[in-house]
Amino acid sequence: MKTTLTKADIVEAIYEATDKNRSDVKNVVEKLLEIMKAAIKKDNALLISGFGKFECYDKASRKGRNPQTNAAIMLPPRKVIVFRLSRKLRAALNP
């Protein structure tokens, strides 16, 4: 069964690997995530060497359909974030 790595799992792993207390590790992880979010909002991209790149782009408005009434509706424009693996990580996943 596959499990999802959560923020709490990351905090726990760092806590076990270092001599810091849990609250300090949790604060560092929270701050890191805030920095990542701010970078994506500001620059529309976040590159982590050896891991991958998060990119944000605008998606235009498009026609949609309400499945309950079958009525045509116009969906508003929105921002979408995509993640692209680095070549190193892709090679490690697909030997």
Domain ranges of the chain: 1-43, 44-95
pLDDT (average), residues 4-12: 94
- Give the model confidence (pLDDT) of 19-67 as tens digits: 899 999 999 999 999 999 999 999 889 999 999 999 999 999 999 999 9
State residue 1's pLDDT score. Answer: 58
For domain 44-95, the question of CATH label 4.10.520.10 is answered with yes
Residues with Cβ within 8 Å of 25's Cβ and at least 6 positions away in sequence, in order, are 11, 14, 15, 18
Q: Return d(Cα 90, Cα 53) in angstroms, integer.
A: 12
